[in-house]
Amino acid sequence: QRAIKSICCIGGGYVGGPSGAVIANRAPSTKVTVVDVNSDRIDAWNSTKLPVYEPYLYDLVAIARDGIPGQREPNLFFSTQVDEAIREADLIFVGVNTPTKTSGLGAGKASDLGWLEMATRRIARCADHDTIVIEKSTVPCGTAQDMQEILKANAKPGVQFEVLSNPEFLAEGTAISNLLCPDRVLIGCFETESGRTAANRLADVYANWVPKDRIITMNIWSAELSKLASNALLAQRISSINALSSICEATGANIEEVSYACGLDTRIGPKMLSASVGFGGSCFKKDIMNLTHISESLNLPEVAAYWKSVVEVNEYQKNRFTQQIVDTMHSTLSRKKIAVLGFAYKKNTGDTRESAAISVVRSLLDENAIVAIYDPKVRRNQIFDDLKLSTDDQRIQVCSDPYDACEDAHAVVILTEWDMFSNQEKRTTPARLGKKPDFEAALRASLSDTMRGKDPISDGLDSGYDSGHSYSPGASSPDLGSAHVRPSTPDFVVQ
């Protein structure tokens, strides 16, 4: 058996890039190559302006990609040479996109596995020695079996493949913390000797930095379903608290107090219990619709309806939010300027996929409002793309400063919970319920080589991502409590 000397990550997106950076960082004797068919993305990964914003990501990439003279050779590479990287690899992570199908059977619900199949066929075509292939993308149950069959049918003579499922649980905005200190690493394998051997070899890679008791092996279908189930449960909590928020608004109860009280119950816990304008991101809706589709395919209509209602409540919450803005502003937004603070689907990311901001801003435009948008990490062109508008559309102003966005606004709408938009202390939860204590130590250990005396946490490293904005959050964050909002209007909407 070959030792694992070379790892390839197919797909250099929000999962592949940060995962590759962490593996390369924590396993310095392993060569890690992240490949993508999108050459713009690869060029960005090879520059100082990464295509993905995540706190601390740039620092980890720079150490492993550029090396440290006299101390450490580069072991992280970004490339479009997919075939070459496949040939070299002992272990291949497939982390390509698996969006919801937009046409054909299961449109709007089932996952489009076209990219995954293309990557799998390419592996079969190129690999010239035994290779472990890891399903990292989120997929429906049974996909690993399909991959195994495709690989077997198309393998070069004498080449054996073993497919594992290793779903990714990182959350955007905290990806580096999640990857360095995961709650668990899940490895699903076929229940054969070769399957278990492959699972152990992957576990050895993670054991470079993850405690062994957090690396869990199980059957491959359980691993695949666990990922969909986790996202469904997380989204279900958000829809539950959002549904409760509408009862609060109708009764005079305060959702923050209700959420705080519920969260103190150790069976419930405080996380993912903040009411909001609704969840966004590329995963929650997609994965729940996938679960709905699977349930329908298995002839379990009640189960399908249950999960679908989580998405329906989310849509209801977004619509309710816009309705409230209109109601608060005397039933008309015509020619009123609305400042929108935050466009990403959550804080600490530049990702706008399925962001609630997109549908809220579209609804504001339908009401003939003029919308001024500020987000510290979302690129200007991305905002126009998401809104399906040309960049010269006069109804939208994209501002590089939050004060400009708020200048003369009739209302300010906060759609992303960036810290810079808040000057309020959050209610603290008891320490026993707080965050895991080991992330900062792990990050310091990872970065200490290059920090030359600086502290990666308190110095707030934040570089290496081009949002197209000159403003960057940090010590000089403006206090929006003093933002100039037209004083004559009482309309001030806060998420």
In the bound complex, what is the minimum distance in angstroms from residue 147's beta carbon to ligand NAI?
13
Question: Shortest approach of ligand NAI to residue 72 CB, angstroms?
Answer: 27
| Residue 268 engages ligand NAI in binding (rule: CB under 6 A) | no
Please state the closest distance from residue 430 (CB atom) to ligand NAI, in A: 29
156 is catalytic: no
55 binding ligand NAI? (CB under 6 A): no
Instruction: Out of 25, 75, 131, 138, point to the residue binding ligand NAI (CB under 6 A).
Output: 138
Q: Does 209 bind ligand NAI (CB under 6 A)?
A: no
Q: Does 81 bind ligand NAI (CB under 6 A)?
A: no
Of the ranges 12-20, 202-210, 257-265, 327-335, which one interacts with ligand NAI (CB under 6 A)? 12-20
Least gap, CB of 39 to ligand NAI (angstroms) = 10
User: Considering 227, 308, 336, 337, which one is annotated as catalytic?
Assistant: 227
Binding mask 277-296 toward ligand NAI (x if CB under 6 A, else -) reads -----xx-------------
Pairing status of strand 185-189 against strand 91-94: unpaired
Q: Which of 88, 90, 162, 172 binds ligand NAI (CB under 6 A)?
A: 172
State how far the Cα of 199 lies from the Cα of 274, in Å rounded to an integer: 37
Of 6, 8, 9, 16, the residue at the interface with ligand NAI (CB under 6 A) is 16
- 166 in contact with ligand NAI (CB under 6 A): no
227 is catalytic: yes
Q: Which of 8, 50, 57, 170 binds ligand NAI (CB under 6 A)?
A: 170
| Number of shown-chain residues binding ligand NAI (CB under 6 A) | 27
Using the rule CB under 6 A, which residue among 37, 243, 451, 493 binds ligand NAI? Answer: 37
Contact flag: residue 36 with ligand NAI (CB under 6 A): yes
Residues in region 97-136 near ligand NAI by CB under 6 A: 97-98, 115, 118-119
Contact 73/460 with Cβ under 8 angstroms?
no
Q: Which one from 54, 135, 168, 224 is the annotated catalytic residue?
A: 168
Nearer to ligand NAI, 8 or 411 (CB): 8
| Catalytic annotation present for 224 | no
Sign of the C-alpha dihedral computed for residues 36, 40, 43 and 45 taken in this order:
negative
Query: CB of 9: closest distance to ligand NAI in angstroms?
Result: 9
Q: Smaller CB distance to ligand NAI: residue 170 or 443?
A: 170
The CB-of-116 to ligand NAI minimum distance in angstroms stands at: 8
Catalytically annotated residues = 168, 227, 283
Q: Applying CB under 6 A, which residues contact ligand NAI?
A: 10-16, 35-38, 41, 82, 95-98, 115, 118-119, 137-138, 168, 170, 172, 282-283
